[in-house]
Amino acid sequence: MNKKTSSESGNTAPEGSSNTYPIRAVERVCDILDLLQRSRDGVSLPETAAVTSLPKSSAFRYLSALEARGYVERDEQSALYRVGLAFQPHNTRQLETFLAQADGPLQRLRDDTGETTNLGTLHGSTVVHNLVFESSQMMRLAARAGDRAPIHSTALGKAMAAELPKDRVLAILNAVEMTPFTDATITTPQAYLSALEMVRQQGYAIDDCENQADGRCVAVALQGMPFPCGISVSAPARRLTIDMVPAVVKKIRSVGRRLVRDFLTER
């Protein structure tokens, strides 16, 4: 029989001792988040290092890990760090408003293409499928609303990642495992960065049987939004053929531009 710990047997900690056992790394993370919460304009890397008594290189690793999870965001122009989407209820309300507005247009895009349509956002290191409208076809490709997916193997992930700074993309990839779901899955950061260059040139992303065998998905990131998001069309590869992609992209872009325009107009 295993021995019980003091907590299991009902014993209390010795008088004068703390009931908590702080871990230095956790304390430093809390110090960073406290600093960011107090700052209105953002915090620089040197300031973060000073507050946490860390070398700049270590402070950068902490910030990058938090950024990959959505707890911290970095302004590319000022290089200042701020509290991320995970701690911003205002952005959560904005997202809820946007999803309500996008519901009808995404359904109509599904009806127009005959295939499953999705609206996804980037939350930390994963893609969240916020809206999913399934194709009426017997054979279809569809996630469920609320499902999470990796950025490295999905069209939505690539489309949104292509809009991010390189260092943030690398931070996300370093925080997750680039699992090979099929023989076509991209599994190295360098190959992924090269794929993002192609996404930027084309203006859209494609998952060409990378997340599911015989599954193809085309996605476009929505420009000008206060949070990373995109919309996509997914279907079995034999039905959504490569030569159909340009026409599908055109329809996605049209819906995306209208969604952004309507959302920003009503803010």
Output the domain CATH number for residue 231: 3.30.450.40
| Per-residue model confidence (pLDDT) at position 68 | 82
17 inside domain: no
Please tell me whether residues 115 and 76 are part of one structural domain. Answer: no
| Per-residue model confidence (pLDDT) at position 36 | 83
DSSP 243: G
| Per-residue model confidence (pLDDT) at position 13 | 42
181 inside domain: yes
| Per-residue model confidence (pLDDT) at position 259 | 96
Note the pTM of the prediction, 2 decimals. Answer: 0.70
Domain boundary among 58, 87, 116: 87
Please tell me whether residues 95 and 191 are part of one structural domain. Answer: yes
Please tell me whether residues 57 and 183 are part of one structural domain. Answer: no
| Per-residue model confidence (pLDDT) at position 8 | 38
Please tell me whether residues 63 and 123 are part of one structural domain. Answer: no
Please tell me whether residues 116 and 165 are part of one structural domain. Answer: yes
18 inside domain: no
| Per-residue model confidence (pLDDT) at position 174 | 83
Q: How far apart are CA 179 and CA 188, in angstroms?
A: 10
| Per-residue model confidence (pLDDT) at position 21 | 54
Please tell me whether residues 68 and 152 are part of one structural domain. Answer: no
Please tell me whether residues 50 and 119 are part of one structural domain. Answer: no
| Per-residue model confidence (pLDDT) at position 17 | 42
164 inside domain: yes
Binned average pLDDT, 10 residues per bin, the chain of 267 residues: 40 44 80 80 87 90 86 80 69 84 97 97 88 89 85 96 91 87 96 97 96 95 92 96 97 97 86
Please tell me whether residues 56 and 157 are part of one structural domain. Answer: no
Please tell me whether residues 117 and 170 are part of one structural domain. Answer: yes
| Per-residue model confidence (pLDDT) at position 211 | 94
Q: Which domain holds residue 257?
A: 89-266
Please tell me whether residues 59 and 102 are part of one structural domain. Answer: no
